């Protein structure tokens, strides 16, 4: 009874170990000795896989075979046939390839049908999977947010649009976005009126704390359209007002 259990366990364990084999492992055991996975660098700085192995560079081979076979089914059928029965007439590289690399040795009997399937799956998806892996490893760019932008977002962006609105007829009208003048237009107008950064800053400092119809850059028509802006007196410190003013001057209407 104990012997039966032992004999039953051994083939089961062997099957489990075999089923854990990957297509990459099959490739390394049977193909990697000849087919390069890393492109060789020549003395003049160019690329030539013959500097690494005596058979075509595997990624180039895969791309060429995909182009020739068009579908995964035909790709699979070609590999199954060719690795067992390599033939000069079937080679993808023609006489020049045969002369350079020679004809590959047959793998007939060297790998099982299951190993062929694993190998084909690995080869077919190899390039795409490696691209995904490279992209996944790329460090994500962390965009630094200007702390002054937070002041604008908190105190101004609710009314002043940073993106111009599009009307139904395809034109532009910031009133489609917010109930105050488009910020880039506002800053351009203010720069034109004040001429210098000092006067620009002085206007901002005074106006956001004490908005006044007579000081408005847009006149009665704009006041009627947008209304008078609410005072920000007490909402910002002197330093924050200075930061906000500098941010607006540097960020907008620079063209």
Query: Are residues 32 and 105 located together in one domain of the fold?
Result: yes
* Banded pLDDT at 94 (limits 50, 70, 90): confident
Residues in contact with 99: Cβ distance below 8 Å, sequence separation at least 6, in sequence order: none
Query: Are residues 124 and 153 located together in one domain of the fold?
Result: no
The reported pLDDT for the residue numbered 95 is 84
- Give the Cα separation of 97 and 45 in Å (integer): 22
Give domain status of residue 73, yes or no: yes
* Domain finish residue from 137, 157, 185: 137
Give domain status of residue 156, yes or no: yes
Query: Are residues 151 and 97 located together in one domain of the fold?
Result: no
| Model confidence at 85: pLDDT above 50 | yes
Query: Are residues 101 and 167 located together in one domain of the fold?
Result: no
* Banded pLDDT at 165 (limits 50, 70, 90): low
Say how many domains are in the chain: 2
Query: Are residues 164 and 216 located together in one domain of the fold?
Result: yes
Q: Within a 10 A sphere around the Cβ of 49, how many other Cβ atoms?
A: 21
Full domain range(s) for residue 170: 147-251
Query: Are residues 38 and 110 located together in one domain of the fold?
Result: yes
Q: How far is CA 139 from CA 128, 129, 133, 135, 146, in A?
A: 19, 18, 12, 9, 21
Give domain status of residue 90, yes or no: yes
Can you give the pTM of this predicted structure? 0.47
Q: Helix crossing, 147-155 with 238-251: angle to 10°?
A: 100
Give domain status of residue 17, yes or no: no
Give domain status of residue 129, yes or no: yes
Can you give the CATH number for the domain in which 124 is found?
1.10.760
Query: Are residues 174 and 235 located together in one domain of the fold?
Result: yes
* Domain finish residue from 119, 137, 155: 137
Q: Within a 10 A sphere around the Cβ of 181, how many other Cβ atoms?
A: 22
* Banded pLDDT at 240 (limits 50, 70, 90): very high
Query: Are residues 96 and 159 located together in one domain of the fold?
Result: no
Give domain status of residue 14, yes or no: no
């Amino acid at each position: 009874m104990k012997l039966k259990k032992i004999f039953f366990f051994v083939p089961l364990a062997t099957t489990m170990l075999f089923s854990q084999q990957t297509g990459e492992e099959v490739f390394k055991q049977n193909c990697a000795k000849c087919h390069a996975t890393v492109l060789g660098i020549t003395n003049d700085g160019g690329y030539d896989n013959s500097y690494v192995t005596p058979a075509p560079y595997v990624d180039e081979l895969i791309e060429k075979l995909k182009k020739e076979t068009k579908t995964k089914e035909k790709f699979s059928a070609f590999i199954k046939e060719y690795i067992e029965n390599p033939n000069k007439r079937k080679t993808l590289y023609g006489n020049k390839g045969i002369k350079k690399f020679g004809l590959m040795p047959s793998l007939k009997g060297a790998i099982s049908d299951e190993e062929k399937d694993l190998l084909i799956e690995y080869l077919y998806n190899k390039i795409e999977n490696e691209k995904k892996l490279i992209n996944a490893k790329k460090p994500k760019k962390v965009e630094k947010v200007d702390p002054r932008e937070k002041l604008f977002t908190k105190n101004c962006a609710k009314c002043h649009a940073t993106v111009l609105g599009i009307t139904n007829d395809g034109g532009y009208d910031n009133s489609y976005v917010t109930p105050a003048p488009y910020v880039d237009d506002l800053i351009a107008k203010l720069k034109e009126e004040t001429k210098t950064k000092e006067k620009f800053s002085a206007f901002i400092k005074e106006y956001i704390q004490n908005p006044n119809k007579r000081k408005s850059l847009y006149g009665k028509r704009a006041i009627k359209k947008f209304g008078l802006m609410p005072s920000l007196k007490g909402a910002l410190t002197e330093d924050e007002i200075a930061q906000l003013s500098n941010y607006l001057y540097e960020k907008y209407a620079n063209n």
